[in-house]
Amino acid sequence: AQSVTQLGSHVSVSEGALVLLRCNYSSSVPPYLFWYVQYPNQGLQLLLKYTSAATLVKGINGFEAEFKKSETSFHLTKPSAHMSDAAEYFCAVSPNTGGFKTIFGAGTRLFVKA
């Protein structure tokens, strides 16, 4: 069974600092991986996704994530945090063979301090 674990339910950074949100997945074969962002009182929207084309994936708003098969990780980074990045971030995994259910991680709340 596939699963995804987000390390840290809350992450706090200063404006301008590096953002690092951690995600590890469990899958017998490389799956599809996603990062979604949820701003307060809104639905989720896609930041980026990994579909085996390239291990370093660039997304919207300056975010990127690197797929590391050896570490079964898909951590999300942004070089310089902005106040508007404060939100809930979800890592998600979707199998690439059979079954179409996307599994979401528990989410990481990002706080950005002025």
Chain residues that interact with other proteins, rule: CB under 8 A = 31-32, 34, 36, 38, 41-46, 49, 51, 88, 90, 94-97, 100-102, 104, 106-107, 109
Nearer to other proteins, 56 or 101 (CB): 101
Q: Is 76 exposed, middle or buried (0-12, 13-18, 19+ CB in 10 A)?
A: buried
Which 3-state string (H, E, C) describes 77-91? EECCCCHHHCEEEEE
The distance of closest approach from Cβ of residue 34 to other proteins in the complex, given in angstroms and rounded to an integer, is 7
Nearer to other proteins, 22 or 109 (CB): 109
Report which of 58, 65, 74, 108 is spatially closest to residue 2, judged by C-alpha positions: 74
Nearer to other proteins, 62 or 104 (CB): 104
